[in-house]
Structure 1
């Protein structure tokens, strides 16, 4: 017989003759810690692959109670969250696509997967990708679940909602059926036009959308289905590329400014880049300066003035029994042709010709032909008080008397010169056809030749304008003080424009370079 004796942790054996083994403990043994089993040295129940497969299989069958058993510490509303997700996704059947489980550690793993939901009745398959995170807990592979397991966009406390899509408001588009460029400088005008469109019906849905609503965040739309193709697209007369070029031409300008572009053959407004504030390009009137010499020239041509007739361009001209008119910076060009006087922007020439060859009625009639004092369907044009004497007539002749005009008005004037007919402006493609006023025979031809002379060797020459551009500069004094206003109006092809810079200085130095940038960008 063998006897084992343990004394204070020391084991002794006593061997007897009997074939028995006896253990005797003497004293208290030294306590030892019981080792904690790990997955690495203790057999774990199952594998991550098996847990992932069973979890996704139950998910496919919508057996959420069974799924709970695979989740480590599932929230109390675990089943309810899945049911709400199903309801939001129209209870669409789900199919999971995945490959191999990635072992990220001895006791961690993950399975990337794609969920494909066939939205019955909508001919849509919605695919989302997520990751099933797994880890060993109490010797069992468990799913570490968060709302992101259902959808990566979901955060704790978030939910997926299905919302109805109301009938959208009509959308304004350009003549090319394109949405407007960003930072287009026509926003006030588009807002006004949008406000006049018919309002969409209320209480009517054209479809639905899925939105992720996380705590403290605005709902974010991730999927939508509309039976209607989208908002009604209402065409304006704006040209996308012309509008973009006009807006970008003003980017380097620090003073309030505007560019208005009109199609001469139709009266359609192609672009409005307005940095005058509000609707300044259409509503604020300014002295047009020498650009108004175009109107005076029209009256003179109609009265029989030949383009090559010699005229004087002295530095100053004194009106009989009246005031003295001076050229800009006292320029004296001597004797020139009428065409050259226009190109050189001789104030003295036009003042003298107006006093000697025109009267208040003839100049007023010419101004009316170009929309001055007329009522427009869009915006306003300009105003002119009938001259009450030669002083006023002379001042009006070069745009420094009572005459005032908007940038829109001066663009319409340039368009009339190009086409031979003045037209009322349009902003909407479906608006009634523009009203038209033809210029007198020979007037448009003469004005086109004179405006071409300006860009060839006049006040707009050498300023970077593209070839075939015709125009007229203007530098208008501000009677209320401040620096002069800068103008340039012109045309090129079937496009007419006005550039205005409030207190911008001279037309040559400020307005013409803007026009050059605008035209070069087209």
Structure 2
């Protein structure tokens, strides 16, 4: 009988799964048991479904919802997940479940917490007896969670030689106090005249602020040197005021503005793109390399999770170790960039100037105008290259066996694929040399010769100059396209850089560089980035190609720059639009002293008359002593 009683007791233990009778690791999950209730509760927590959480509680605190909301708000919790659920004890009446919570804190990262859920049994029903220790062990009613968060100093953008391109500094914010304005028209007029502020923007802001007369309405930030220039004119106008503001400055106003970019308070779009380490109010890169290299320059914020006791005192529950930002070295050269800025100083039309190292493809300077426009046309603007593309066509012709002294024809007009083409400004050279036809940019010569080539010859030459090749500059740039020609008419148009051929000013700088070095290199802006694709020109074409490009400067369409020793180049006047006569972009691509460059003026007219003088100004500024180059004024 005793034996039967022992067996019955063991059986009862197995049925009840008492901890003393069976190992915890093999305890099955019973529907409606503590494990089941815990999972339901934690799933509801992860969904932020406080009502569902509350349904599993016994004697829920009256402020349960408020405590959860405060915990989320004080810590900036954006998401929670839970795992490692484990039964720690169960005596049939009470039970304790251990679990791990991983809480994602906005702007800081994940905080891991191991805590407990305590259950009581009433009949067949298990319920959670909630206390604040669910958030963190040892937490008591009335305790309050908090956090700190700090960014370290933002690292710098450097030029190729390690010189600072960005430094901490100060700007002057120019604005208006509506209640002090006596003459709205006068305020709007002087802000437009001195700083280019749109009058409509001024009137709209003043109208919107009619109920807040002492509010400071900021319109533009200017550097201290610009402020000193405009203050004598702005300060006497009633209502205009100034405020100092910390800022990140470049060597001069407008210096590589589109490329380096700007910093400012994070926008909603940037916040979504940058991810959970960022939060509203952060100062981040908003454009250019400041945006593209944000994570490197900014590093990682540091912070703490703290618990303030109701009885007094506080403790650090967790530390987030930040990381300092790291400097980013670009391929830009301060002297070359300053020369590019000086060349475009008084250009009022949209324009671009890009310079690259002929040996590596490294971008030495890149400037876009206007400064107040977001489009970085030097890198992202795509345009027909016009006759600058004849460098590519000439390489294909040289590869086919022609020489600079080969005899060619330059009639007034030719027909290719039933389409008639004429020379620009009705030029006729008759029978001449390839060198002279190239120097004077005879369209009909290159159209006739190109349609006689193998159908793939021109496409292959374009490929050798990087057309259709994808590359990563370090900022968005679509490169150049040379679609396959469908007939002789398209091939003829493409031979002179029209039709469907499209390029960026950056890419045309690499074309000039390749003509000089014999190797096309993909451009890059970051010194530590791996070299991109490259292609070698056809054997034996580089030297005669330089011969042709020198003739452009000594005896051709760029003769106005003939005094610049060693300059090679090619002008371009690219037609666009549907007006009659068509509008034209002005181009000049050139090489000198290991620097390939492209000058582009959108809708500027004739390349030899508009782009060549800017190229000469660029090279003259590059030759001048560095302290003699004054980068142009512009907006931040």
User: What TM-score, normalized by structure 1, do the two folds share?
Assistant: 0.61
Distance 1:421 1:335 in 2: 32
Per-residue Cα deviation, 1:326-374 (whole angstroms, up to 9, x for no partner) = 1111011111101111001000000000112x14311111111111111
Aligned-residue offset at 1:184: 4.0
- Residue in 1 that maps onto 2:258: 188
Q: Are the aligned partners of 1:311 and 1:349 in contact in 2 as well (CA < 8 Å)? A: yes
What's the offset of the Cα at 1:325? Answer: 1.2
Distance across 1 between alignment mates of 2:454 and 2:380 = 29
Instruction: Find the residue that maps to 1:382 and give its secondary structure.
Output: coil
Larger radius of gyration: 1
- Is the 8 Å Cα contact of residues 464 and 516 (structure 1) preserved in structure 2? no
Distance 2:602 2:460 in 1: 28
The aligned residue for residue 284 of structure 1 is: 381
Say whether residues 1:509 and 2:609 are aligned partners.
yes
Unaligned runs of 5+ in 2: 1-148, 166-250, 262-287, 305-323, 623-636
Instruction: Within 5 Å, give how 1:343-382 maps onto structure 2.
Output: 343-356=439-452, 358-378=453-473, 379-382=477-480
The yes-or-no answer on 1:491 pairing with 2:591 is: yes
1:200 has 2:299 as partner: yes
Kindly indicate whether the alpha-carbon contact (under 8 Å) linking 1:185 and 1:274 is maintained by their aligned counterparts in 2. no
Of stretches 463-472 and 241-250 in structure 1, the one that deviates more from structure 2 is: 463-472
Report 1:286-305 matches (<5 A).
286-305=383-402
Verify: 1:324 aligned to 2:424, yes or no.
no
**Displacement of 1:486:** 0.2
The SS at the match of 1:432 is coil
| Structure 2 equivalent of residue 426 of structure 1 | 524
Aligned pair partner of 2:571 in 466, 473, 477: 473
What is the CA deviation profile of residues 129-172 of structure 1, one whole-angstrom value per residue up to 9, with x for unaligned ones? Answer: xxxxxxxxxxxxxxxxxxxxxxxxxxxxxxxxxxx995211110
Contact 1:465 1:515 in 2 (8 A): no
Q: Distance in 2 between matches of 1:499 and 1:463?
A: 14
The reply on whether 1:254 has 2:353 as its aligned counterpart is no
**Structure 1: how far apart are the matches of 2:454 and 2:539?**
20
Is this contact kept in 2: 1:465–1:513, CA < 8 A? no
After TM superposition, give the deviation of residue 295 of structure 1 in Å: 0.6
What is the DSSP-based 3-state SS (H/G/I as helix, E as strand, rest coil) of the residue aligned with 1:453? helix
Match in the other structure for 2:56:
none
Q: Indicate which of 536, 550, 554 corresponds to 1:452.
A: 550
Per-residue CA shift, 1:253-305, capped at 9, x if unaligned? 11100000000111100000111642211112111000001111111111111
CA shift in 2, pair 1:384/1:204, >3 Å? same
**Once the two structures are superposed, what CA deviation does each residue of 1:435-461 show, in whole Å capped at 9, x if it has no partner?**
321111111112111101100111000
Equivalent residue, structure 1, for 2:489: 391
SS of 2:456 mapped into structure 1: helix
Q: Aligned pairs, how many?
A: 333
Q: Residue 184 of structure 1 contacts residue 273 of structure 1 at CA under 8 Å; is this kept in 2? A: no
Distance 1:185 1:391, change over 3 A: farther
Structure 2 counterpart of 1:223 = none
The answer to whether the 8 Å contact 1:463/1:508 transfers is no
Question: Residues 406, 362 of structure 1: CA spacing in aligned structure 2 closer, same or farther, 3 A cutoff?
Answer: same
Cα displacement (A) at 1:177: 1.7
Distance across 1 between alignment mates of 2:255 and 2:492: 37
Q: Which residue of 2 aligns with 1:172?
A: 157
Q: CA deviation at 1:183?
A: 2.8
Secondary structure at the counterpart of residue 167 of structure 1: coil
RMSD: 2.0
Is residue 336 of structure 2 the alignment partner of residue 266 of structure 1?
no
1:441 to 536, 539, 546: 539
Q: Is the 8 A contact 2:160 2:331 kept in 1?
A: yes
Counterparts of 2:583 and 2:421, CA distance in 1: 19
| Equivalent in the alignment of 1:339 | 435
Query: CA separation in 1, counterparts of 2:529 and 2:254?
Result: 22
Moved over 6 A (4+): none
Report the CA distance between 1:232 and its aligned residue.
4.3
> Residues of 1 paired with 2:499 and 2:289: CA distance?
34
1:316 Cα deviation after fit:
1.3
Residue 231 of structure 1: how far off its partner (Å): 6.9
- Give the distance between the partners of 2:536 and 2:460, measured in 1 at CA: 13
SS at match of 1:402: coil
Q: CA deviation at 1:188?
A: 2.6
Q: Could you state the TM-score of these two structures normalised by the residue count of structure 2?
A: 0.50
Quick one: distance in 1 between partners of 2:555 and 2:255? 33
**Other-structure match for 2:407:** 310
Contact 1:266 1:434 in 2 (8 A): no
